[in-house]
A and B are shown apart, each in its own frame.
Chain A
Amino acid sequence: MKYFEYSEPATLQEAVALLRDGAGQASLIAGGTDLMVQMKEHVRQPARVINIKKIPGMDDFAYDPQGGLTLGALVTTRQVETSPVTQRHYASLARAATDFASIQVRNRATVVGNVCRASPSADTLPALIADGAVLRIHGPNGRRLCAVEDFCTGPGRTALGSEEIVTHIVIPPPAPGTGKVYIKHGRRAQMELATVGVAVSLTLAGGDCQAVSIVLAAVAPTPLRARQAEAVLRGQPLTSALIAAAAQAASQEARPIGDVRGSADYRREMVRVLTRRAIEQAIEEAA
């Protein structure tokens, strides 16, 4: 790691001022599980590292049935994995947080950090997008909101300005009759990046699909909303033929590359298989 100046601002205003002074050469640290590796491997060489752990409110972890779930920037993946609230109301997110690295890493790595890293294979992103999560962002001009779906613009690239900080994620409460599933496919469950990931949030009303979101990981430069697959299901009675058609549509929407974890054709085929499974499991959860 190259030398850097280290700061622990006590307020968001102070942190934003440090980012401005850093002129693009400053990095925020919360969990540090990505930044530390990037600094050691000289992928990032910040002149200043800004630890946001001393800023009040950043460890918020609150749920209410009207407002939904609020996760501060310091909430770890391990907290989301083990909390009865997330296990019950945000099952796909809790699953994604469980299938993530190791316990040692999950005790440090934050959900907001996983979002800001914007990896195409990020585990928490598909579940957050399927659940309609919104980011609260603090910057020089105050606060703004950004849907997680609109946040990732490319591998490792986001809509976050150089003087902005993601302070919270807000996830709406689930509608009654909603099932949420995340399936990660890899050679092993933990300590592994997804070869393909599929998140489904599906709401049933009288046996019909009232609402559905299907989000794919690791098959495009950003997490990919399978909108054609969703359109196949929406408003329809969920027959096995319809589910197969939706899975087929999702595999055609995927834009995978081939790499060390799997070929493009393999990924496309796995999208079809896993989307079908995820829809079937979500229907079971919703019923």
Chain B
Amino acid sequence: MKQLVAFTVNGEEREIAVEPNRSLLDALRTEAGLTGTKKGCDVGECGSCTVIMDGKPVNACLVLAMEAQGATLTTIEGVQCSAEEPHPLQENFMQCGAAQCGFCTPGIIMMAKALLDENPKPTTDEIRFAIAGNICRCTGYTKIIEAIGRTAGTVEAQP
């Protein structure tokens, strides 16, 4: 039987009806209509579904939707400064060419945002450590790390 779950996502209060065996990832994508969060492996290996839940990055595929009752969530749809103005991370991902197919990008942006919220000036090693749980099969990570470092001001722009 479906049950109601209420949470705040990207500053908006939402209430959705879900079966108990629904993951937060499926609930966000289907019931909440927020398809920016991607479903890659669905078993916590790839990081594509990273969202920020009560201030902490988590894999939405490993959380039951029921557990989001009362939670504050941020998804990729909530990071832009405004409709016209991307988040500095998004801007730098574009500038650096850090997205190729783009499937891993929302998860990596969310993980990078969580990192910078906690540690505004990470070293390259700290960036690599932070995104260890986000798999990208296109770029080889160099440009992703550069984009995050440029956002933090700890990596110089490449000529």
Contact = CB atoms under 8 A, between A and B. Distances in A.
B57 interface: yes
A145 B43 CA distance: 33
B56 to A, nearest CB: 4
Interface string A21-54: 0000000010011001101110000000101010
Contacts of B22: 1
Given A40-B42, A102-B47, A3 B58 contact: no
A80 to B, nearest CB: 15
B9 to A, nearest CB: 18
Contact of A37 (B47, B62, B67, B132): B62
Interface residues of A, number: 28
B66 interface: yes
Contacts of B130: 103
A190 B133 contact: yes
Given A2-B21, A3-B21, A40-B42, A107 B56 contact: yes
A3 B19 contact: yes
B63 interface: yes
A6 interface: yes
Given A6-B66, A36-B64, A107 B133 contact: no
Given A103-B133, A104-B44, A36 B20 contact: no
A40 B47 CA distance: 17
Contacts of B57: 103-104, 107
B64 A6 contact: yes
Interface string A82-119: 00000000000000000001111101100000000000
Chain B interface bracket (under 10, 10 to 19, 20 to 34, 35 or more)? 20 to 34
A23 B23 CA distance: 25
A4 interface: yes
A3 B21 CA distance: 5
B103 to A, nearest CB: 17
A259 B108 CA distance: 32
Contacts of B42: 40
A78 B66 CA distance: 22
A39 B133 CA distance: 21
Interface of B: 3, 19-23, 42-45, 47, 50, 56-59, 61-64, 66-67, 111, 114, 129-130, 132-134
Given A6-B20, A102-B132, A105-B59, 15 more contacts: A4-B21, A6-B64, A32-B64, A36-B63, A37-B43, A37-B62, A53-B67, A78-B56, A102-B59, A103-B57, A103-B111, A104-B58, A107-B56, A189-B132, A191-B132
